[in-house]
Structure 1
Amino acid sequence: MLELSNVSKRYGDRLALDQVSFTVGDGRLTGFVGGNGAGKTTTMRIILGVLAADGGSVMLGGAPITAADRRRFGYMPEERGLYPKMKVLEQTVYLARLHGWTPAAAHRNALELLERLGLGERTNDTIESLSLGNQQRAQIAAALVHKPEVLVLDEPFSGLDPMAVETVQGVLADVAAAGSPVLFSSHQLDIVERLCDDLVIIAGGRIAAAGPGDALRTEHGSERWELLTAGDAGWLRRQPGIEVVEFDGGWAVFEAESDAARQATLAEAVTRGEVVSFTREHTTLAQIFKEVVR
């Protein structure tokens, strides 16, 4: 498990990170979200040892992270970092060799990974000749080719089309399923919500919320309910303890002041005709994000 405890960082007079604490569990995909300048990249660079923290600690498996530990990490920065004139396969093999893999094993790993990422037909193309989306796939391959034990990715889905997003999602899910902690940042909240086991929301250098997605929905989720009937739901406006938020024919979204009021509403709906559905309104990550950073 990767664990950050009270990590702080200053740039001159500006406090970039303020007592940042969260964990990335083994075999867990953890989404790291926040606005521009919230502190995501600074946090990741401290995890990787690229930056030194001014306070706090970063632990792996309950012990302080060492240089040897970090050699077993995989990292993809937001900025392009590959050699533009090297061929895709040559570049990927080279990076695996830097991590100690034999030529044969590095070549095998690279070919398998590039094929999985949809670059099997581009292995002999130079990095600079690729589209931006394919360059992003090559960046991901570079972070994964040495089979890292911990994976940290900064905006891995940037510039990817929907098919490529699905491919990368599958690759990251497989890495987590093998037991590795996976932390990635993204501004694409729908992808984070769909893919991640855990969420960390940072705002102004502080952790605003962190935990499993279901737990965050319970804590910060909406208490609104959605009713769909075969008839007209206008009677809801006169129902005791109910405040109608949205209404259209037989469909309505409402808030109930108590469980008793909600149950009474369902019972009343049943007496009036067919109830097509009665569910709690799904709270999206975007809604949680807006609430906790407000």
Structure 2
Amino acid sequence: MRRIRRRRRAHSVVAMSDLEVRDLTRVFASGDTPRRAVDGVSFTASSGLLTGFVGGNGAGKTTTMRMIMGVLAITRGEVRFGGAPVTRHDRREFGYMPEERGLYPKQPVLEQLVYLARLRGIAAPVARREVLEHLDRLGLAGRAKDHVEKLSLGNQQRVQIVAAIMGQPKALVLDEPFSGLDPAAVDAMADLLREHTRRGVPVLFSSHQLDLVERLCERLVILGGGRVLASGTPDELRTKGFTRHRLVLSGDAGFVRGVPGVLAVDVDGSSALVEVHDDAAATRLLSAALERGAVQEFSPVRPTLAQIYREVTS
């Protein structure tokens, strides 16, 4: 390994700084027909919050993250950090986990993580202590001297995570950090990320695991076709569109199909799942139900992130 020039390590206290993406666009030249992979994407990964970045394959998540980190040139738009255009110095203090993992397969885990930490300006003794602490928390203390190629894919993922979070980064941009992790490792990783948000760090991560994103994130950004289809807190996303209610009666619920302003999503005997367009429709539905007998339940149903995702991407 080449000799490393030591830089001063950044202070562990992070100023409250948002990571902002404004009208970010990337066009790839492809013969006579350029391809617009990301088209006017705007959102904010707020300081001290976990922001989940979700979308199908080809939605533009990885391309957006590469532009945030300066790995890929921006066709139009800008990235801002702390209220100003992001600089090369800012990016050097970001923790980044790319889609293509950057580990050396034939080098020992501890040795290369210490090396990567020293590239970020951390003194060797401090780096070694921090690496060992993180490996222990992720269940890899006994594998520190193993070559990366000897580890399972899930354990390699844990090593890559450690590489991204070393040195008190000012922001974290993580592409599929939970991929291949078992439940215990997911919990350990979530705890580590929350420690960074408590320092005021904005954390943006992509994932195909919608239930995990829903459980962990304070804000969500749903991408499709290179554009933002929906964004906000989980509660904000749940309240957009029509409200679903569950209606349970003493008799048959089939009549709901004929109530104006009510869409019957599912009817099964005495129960029905309906979408109510407005308060007037809810009143009509409940009045019609009471005319037919006792109403045992009429309550709103909170949609899951998976249901919201299917609705906005369909």
* Same fold at TM > 0.5: yes
Q: Does 1:287 align with 2:307?
A: yes
| Alpha-carbon separation, structure 1, partners of 2:88 and 2:257 | 66
Q: Does 1:8 align with 2:8?
A: no
Partner of 2:97: 76
Q: How does 1:214-293 map to 2 (within 5 A)?
A: 214-220=235-241, 222-228=242-248, 231-232=250-251, 234=253, 237=256, 241=260, 243-262=263-282, 275=296, 277-293=297-313
Partner of 1:50: 71
Q: CA deviation at 1:96?
A: 1.1
Contact 1:236–1:244, Cα closer than 8 Å, also in 2:
no
1:157-196 alpha-carbon deviations (Å, 9 max, x no partner): 1112222222222222222222100001111111111111
Q: How does 1:125-144 map to 2 (within 5 A)?
A: 125-144=146-165
Q: CA deviation at 1:247?
A: 3.2
Query: Which stretch of structure 1 is more off in the superposition, 160-169 or 131-140?
Result: 160-169
The unaligned stretches of length 5 or more in structure 2 are 1-17
Q: How does 1:143-158 map to 2 (within 5 A)?
A: 143-158=164-179
| Alpha-carbon separation, structure 1, partners of 2:52 and 2:267 | 34
Q: CA deviation at 1:134?
A: 0.6
Partner of 2:114: 93
Q: How does 1:190-209 map to 2 (within 5 A)?
A: 190-209=211-230
Q: CA deviation at 1:233?
A: 5.1
Partner of 1:67: 88
Q: CA deviation at 1:118?
A: 1.6
Compared with structure 1, are the counterparts of its residues 235 and 287 closer, same or farther at alpha carbon in structure 2 (3 Å cutoff)?
closer
Question: Pick from 174, 186, 200: which aligns with 1:179?
Answer: 200
Partner of 1:124: 145
Q: CA deviation at 1:257?
A: 4.9
Contact 1:233–1:252, Cα closer than 8 Å, also in 2:
no
Q: CA deviation at 1:262?
A: 3.0
Query: Which stretch of structure 1 is more off in the superposition, 96-105 or 208-217?
Result: 208-217
Compared with structure 1, are the counterparts of its residues 194 and 126 closer, same or farther at alpha carbon in structure 2 (3 Å cutoff)?
same
3-state SS of 1:121 partner:
helix
Q: Which amino acid is the alignment partner of residue 33 of structure 1?
A: V
Compared with structure 1, are the counterparts of its residues 244 and 109 closer, same or farther at alpha carbon in structure 2 (3 Å cutoff)?
same
Q: Which amino acid is the alignment partner of residue 2 of structure 1?
A: L
| Alpha-carbon separation, structure 1, partners of 2:257 and 2:207 | 44
Normalised to the residue count of structure 2, the TM-score between the two structures is 0.84
Q: Does 1:162 align with 2:179?
A: no
1:30-50 alpha-carbon deviations (Å, 9 max, x no partner): 111122122111111111111
Partner of 1:111: 132
The unaligned stretches of length 5 or more in structure 1 are none
| Alpha-carbon separation, structure 2, partners of 1:39 and 1:243 | 33
Identity of aligned residues (%): 53
